[in-house]
């Protein structure tokens, strides 16, 4: 029988983040799955120069790299499993973090639900995660919040540009 030290045992956790957007579920879903907007959201902040691929379709893939001090730090690959327009997106993603200090792998099953709330839409994001290191619990939640914040900023900019 293989024995693992307590430090190396994997951890399973679920992170749920909710955010409401001032547009219909159809429009929110359409914006979320728009490749140009998606690439822009991913390219904001830490993935600024590392977005390699964006293909939002069943079986499609997103791939982006995280760099720290101009060195490759980690790679994330997301595979889209199910897309139900204005209803839900199911995806599976893997992140490999490699460096001088540690070598980690992080796997997520992702579910996004688009819920109509009158003229608005609430996106409920649930990530079921498997990781060796507990700090990824916070990283998963922080990443979802960062993506929602950036997406909201991009939507606001698009609305302002359309009004001009």
User: Which range of residues forms the domain containing residue 124?
Assistant: 9-163
Question: What pLDDT is recorded for position 99?
Answer: 64
CA distance 80 to 39: 15
pTM confidence score: 0.81
In whole angstroms, give the CA distance from residue 132 to residue 11.
6
pLDDT at 7 over 70: no
Residue 4 forms part of a structural domain: no
Asked if the model's pLDDT at residue 160 lies above 50, the reply is yes
Q: What is the DSSP string of 88-109?
A: EEEEEEEEEEE-SS-EEEEEEE
User: Residue 63: how many CB atoms within 10 A of its CB?
Assistant: 17
Say how many domains are in the chain. 1
61 within domain boundaries: yes
DSSP at 25: H
| pLDDT 10s digits, 108-131 | 899 999 999 999 999 999 998 877
Q: What is the pLDDT of residue 4?
A: 46
Confidence (pLDDT) at 12: 80
Residue 51 sits in a domain of what CATH number? Answer: 3.30.530.20
User: 2 in a domain, yes or no?
Assistant: no
CB 24 within 8 A of CB 119: yes
Can you give the pLDDT at residue 117?
94
Question: Average pLDDT for residues 34-53, to the nearest whole number?
Answer: 79
Q: Is residue 1 part of a domain?
A: no
Q: CB-side exposure of 70: number of CA atoms within 13 Å?
A: 0
The answer to whether position 137 is within a domain reads yes
**Do 16 and 143 meet the contact criterion of CB atoms below 8 Å apart?**
no
What is the model's pLDDT at position 2?
A: 47
Cα–Cα nearest to 27, from 90, 98, 112, 86 = 86
Higher-scoring residue by pLDDT: 153, 101: 153
* Percent of the chain at pLDDT exceeding 70: 83
Look at residue 69 and tell me if it is in a domain.
Answer: yes
Q: Is residue 3 part of a domain?
A: no
Mean pLDDT of the chain: 83
- The verdict on residue 58 lying in a domain is yes
Rounded Cα distance, 36 and 43, in Å: 10
């Amino acid at each position: 029988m293989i024995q693992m030290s307590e430090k190396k045992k994997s951890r399973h956790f679920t992170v749920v983040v909710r955010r409401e957007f001032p547009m219909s579920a159809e429009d929110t879903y359409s914006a979320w799955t728009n490749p140009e907007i998606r690439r822009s959201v991913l390219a904001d902040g830490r993935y600024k120069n590392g977005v390699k691929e964006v293909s939002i379709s069943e079986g499609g893939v997103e791939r982006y790299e995280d760099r720290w001090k101009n060195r490759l730090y980690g790679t994330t690959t997301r595979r889209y499993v199910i897309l139900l327009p204005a209803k839900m997106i199911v995806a599976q993603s893997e992140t490999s973090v490699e460096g001088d200090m540690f070598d980690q792998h992080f796997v997520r099953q992702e579910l996004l639900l688009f819920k109509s709330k009158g003229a608005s839409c609430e996106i409920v994001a649930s990530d079921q995660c498997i990781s060796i290191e507990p700090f990824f619990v916070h990283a998963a939640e922080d990443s979802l919040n960062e993506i929602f914040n950036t997406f909201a900023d991009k939507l606001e900019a698009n609305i302002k540009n359309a009004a001009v």
